[in-house]
């Protein structure tokens, strides 16, 4: 039987690192494994998934969850899942057929709303690891939100130069304009 394993949390919490670790482990064990990422995210170059410490894995670019059905592999790895469109049932169906999933994604937008299909994914997952980052304001290890520093000019802004991980307390302070940090 397959299963669905998710690493989630704010930016800079090590999500991509976790699925790269799992990918490497499965490859060494000789399992059929493939890495996927949304087409929209080109931070690491067209076809790479990269961790913040520089490890890189070749990835297949897809736009919709349904496209996973076109690939013959035993273990699916997906980074930046929040940017994928499509039907979450595809993942549940593939897991029922015996496929394993390791998925990384931001759970919340900078407005603290469920990001894309992440909410649906968390509900159907076997294992969810919620991770935290270091808050860039107070430096405590309890950042659960990604805060946007600046004025938004489109719906989804890619790249994380303008986003910082912050804790609940500092998010509120920043939202009220009480802290200047850059
Ligand atoms: Zn804080």
Query: In the chain, what are the domain boundaries?
Result: 3-130
pLDDT per position as a tens digit, 27-74: 999 999 999 999 975 665 667 777 777 788 899 999 999 999 999 999
Q: Residue 162: count other Cβ atoms within 10 Å of its Cβ.
A: 14
Centre of ligand 1 from the C-alpha of residue 154, in Å: 27
| Cβ-Cβ contacts under 8 Å for 106 (sequence gap 6 or more) | 8, 9, 10, 11, 15, 80, 82, 115, 118, 146
Q: Out of 3.40.50.720, 1.25.40.10, 1.10.3720.10, 3.40.50.300, select the CATH number for domain 3-130.
A: 3.40.50.300
| Range list of H helices, the chain | 15-28, 89-96, 118-124, 168-175
- What's the CA gap between 17 and 110, in Å, rounded? 22
pLDDT at 179: 56
How much is the mean pLDDT over the chain?
90
The model's pTM: 0.89
Decide if 136 is catalytic: no
**Choosing from 17, 22, 69, 80, which is the catalytic residue?**
80
């Amino acid at each position: 039987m397959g299963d669905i394993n998710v690493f989630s949390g704010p930016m800079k919490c090590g999500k991509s690192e976790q699925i790269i670790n799992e990918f490497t482990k499965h490859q060494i064990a000789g399992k059929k494994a493939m890495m996927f990422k949304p087409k929209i995210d080109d931070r690491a170059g067209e076809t790479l998934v990269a961790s913040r410490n520089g490890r890189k894995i070749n990835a297949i670019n897809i736009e919709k969850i349904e496209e996973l059905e076109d690939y013959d592999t035993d273990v699916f790895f997906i980074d930046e899942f929040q940017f994928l469109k499509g039907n979450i049932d595809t993942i549940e169906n593939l897991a029922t057929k015996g496929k394993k999933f390791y998925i990384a994604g931001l759970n919340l937008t900078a407005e603290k709303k469920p990001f894309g299909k992440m909410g649906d994914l968390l509900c159907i997952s076997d294992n969810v690891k919620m991770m935290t980052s270091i808050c860039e304001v107070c430096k405590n290890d309890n950042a659960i939100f990604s805060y946007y520093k600046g004025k938004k000019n489109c719906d989804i802004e890619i790249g994380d130069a303008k986003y910082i991980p912050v804790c609940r307390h500092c998010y509120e302070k920043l939202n009220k304009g009480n802290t200047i940090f850059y």
